[in-house]
Amino acid sequence: MTHALVESLSQRLAQWPQGRFVVAFSGGLDSTVLLHALTKTPHKARLKAIHVHHGLQDVADDWLTHCEQFSRSLDVAFEACRVLVPSESGLSLEARARDARYRALSDSLQSGDVLLTAHHAEDQAETLLLNLMRGSGVEGLSAMPELKALSPSRSTWHGRPLLNQSKADLQSYARQFQLQWVEDHSNRDEQFDRNYLRHRVMPLLQQRWPKAAESMSASVRHLQSVRQRELDYWQQMARLHTRERGKVLPLSALEGMVKADRLSLIRAWLAGSEPAPRYKILQAIDALCYSELGERQEGAGTVAWGKDQRQGVSRFQKALYWRRALDQTLGSNGDWEWQTQDELMLPSLQRPLSQEWCEEQGIAIKPNQTLRVCFRASASAQDRIIQPRKGVSQTQKAYFQEQKVPPWLRDGCPYLYDGAQLIGILIDWERL
């Protein structure tokens, strides 16, 4: 007879993306039960176990050995990742270790993979209580989703298939199958907030209300439903107001909104960012445009986040620009010859030079024409743009301002010369 936990896992995973299922395997009770139960489902052939070695405890090597041996005994592919937990201030050791662990797990995934973690109903209740104590809003109180996109660009996912199971369910399963696991004694250290809740607060709540964890999990599901409707609304608003394929958010879209709504729209606009900006980053982006009193501010600036601070939002004129590679190199020295009947790919451009691109931007060129092409580094700052179709002459600065080209894009715009005459500058909006 199939165990109820195995049956539940089989049904859930059948509805999830059908890549590999990669189990974050610490060797503790919860992940041991998850890995063992998964081998009894139809999905066993797609399983892989990954153990993250933090090196924070003397027994870390023993845990790795145990995890590898247990995985091999189940005929499950195994991988170990060693990480160095950074020592920067501002985050607790627990938070720094978690961030390092998830970075390593995410980096180990292939396109289509689903990372599985063994969070259960009590973990969900603890997360809700922690976020209540932090004064979180609907997003924080929605706690942990059962399935979410981990990296949209790589099509990887994070699933928690045990959220509907209690700790007692997992303990019962482990006893039935006589499983062995490792004990992390740091999980009993009550200086960590989660451990304090687990060992002091939750037992009191469950003594009074035996189904406290299940009730809190039900509340989380209601909040997740509210949160999803809110996300859908703000994503629709972001699609409505942004331009240049979602890379530019005009400040007019934020006009008249209270701060909470401005932050919701900015968050929805940046929904595809990897990693997503945290709340403090969203506040900093809002501060590029509005004072603490909600008054519109003038000026410019950039807010960066993510690995090596490569992602960012910059303000230019009356819009916010989402920049996905702050350190990208734009333009280069040198000249190129372009036969306009053909396409020409230049260094650092996202698209080839073509008659179609010129027509899109109102630059008149002739078929079978030979043009000289360069970037700003090789052009003369004194050259004026003379466009035959418009019959006007402009300075480069005036042209860039008229076209609302941000300063960081200008070095990467191709200059088109017909002999000695500058006839146009193409704007590479793909580089936003």
**Residue with more model confidence, 271 or 2:** 271
Q: Where is pLDDT greater, at 245 or 416?
A: 416
Average confidence (pLDDT) over 401-418: 88
High-pLDDT (> 90) share of the chain, %: 59
pLDDT band at 88 (very low <50, low <70, confident <90, very high): low
Q: What is the pLDDT of residue 324?
A: 76
Backbone angles phi, psi at 303, to 5 degrees: -115, 125
**pLDDT for residue 237 is more than 60:** yes
Residues forming beta bridges with residue 248, ordered by sequence position: 243, 321
Tokens 């209270």, located at residue = 258
The encoded tokens of residue 409 equal 């894009």
Asked if the model's pLDDT at residue 89 lies above 60, the reply is no
Tokens of 269: 């606009």
The residues, ordered by sequence, that sit 6+ positions from 351 with a Cβ below 8 Å of its Cβ are 357, 428, 430
Distance, in Å, from the CA atom of 328 to the CA atom of 411, rounded to the nearest integer, reads 11
Band of pLDDT at residue 152, cut at 50, 70 and 90:
confident
Band the pLDDT of 294: cuts 50, 70, 90: low
* Mean pLDDT score, 144-172: 92
pLDDT at 226 over 60: yes
Q: Looking at residue 75, what is its pLDDT?
A: 96
Amino acid at position 322, single letter: W
Asked if 112 and 156 count as a contact pair (C-beta separation under 8 A), the reply is: yes
Please tell me the predicted confidence (pLDDT) of residue 311: 85
Does 1 score more than 60 pLDDT?
no
Banded model confidence at residue 47, pLDDT cuts 50, 70, 90: very high
Q: Who has greater pLDDT, 195 or 152?
A: 195
Instruction: Check residue 248 and give its pLDDT.
Output: 92
The confidence band for 295, taking pLDDT boundaries of 50, 70 and 90, is: low
Task: Note the pLDDT of residue 391.
Answer: 64
Tell me the per-residue pLDDT of 325-366, one tens digit each, with 9 for 90 and over: 776 666 678 899 999 999 999 877 888 999 999 988 888 888
pLDDT of 388 above 60: no
Instruction: Give yes or no for residue 15 having a pLDDT over 90.
Output: yes
For position 196, what pLDDT does the model report? Answer: 95
Backbone angles phi, psi at 337, to 5 degrees: -105, 130
Is residue 299 predicted with pLDDT exceeding 90?
no
- Structural domains of the chain, with CATH: 1-215 (3.40.50.620), 242-324 (1.20.59.20), 335-431 (no CATH)
pLDDT at residue 387, as a whole number: 65
pLDDT digits 0-9 by tens, 309-320? 778 999 988 899
User: d(Cα 99, Cα 312) in Å, to the nearest integer?
Assistant: 20
Average pLDDT over residues 276-290: 90
Q: What is the mean pLDDT of the chain?
A: 89
User: If pLDDT is split at 50, 70 and 90, which confidence band does 216 have?
Assistant: very high
pLDDT in tens, 94-143: 778 888 888 889 989 999 999 999 999 999 999 999 999 999 888 889 99
| Mean pLDDT confidence for 228-248 | 91
Rg (CA), the chain: 28
User: In which band, very low, low, confident or very high, does the pLDDT at 378 lie, cut at 50, 70 and 90?
Assistant: confident
Find which of 251-260, 300-309, 317-326 is predicted with most confidence, using mean pLDDT. Answer: 251-260
Per DSSP, the three-state class of 132 is: helix
Predicted TM-score (pTM) of this structure: 0.77
DSSP string, 167-217: HHHHHHHHHHTT------GGGG-TTSHHHHIIIIIHHHHHHH-TTHHHHHH
Given this model, what pLDDT does residue 366 score?
A: 85
Q: Which of 155, 84, 75, 81 lies closest to 115, judged by CA?
A: 155
Amino acid type, 217: S
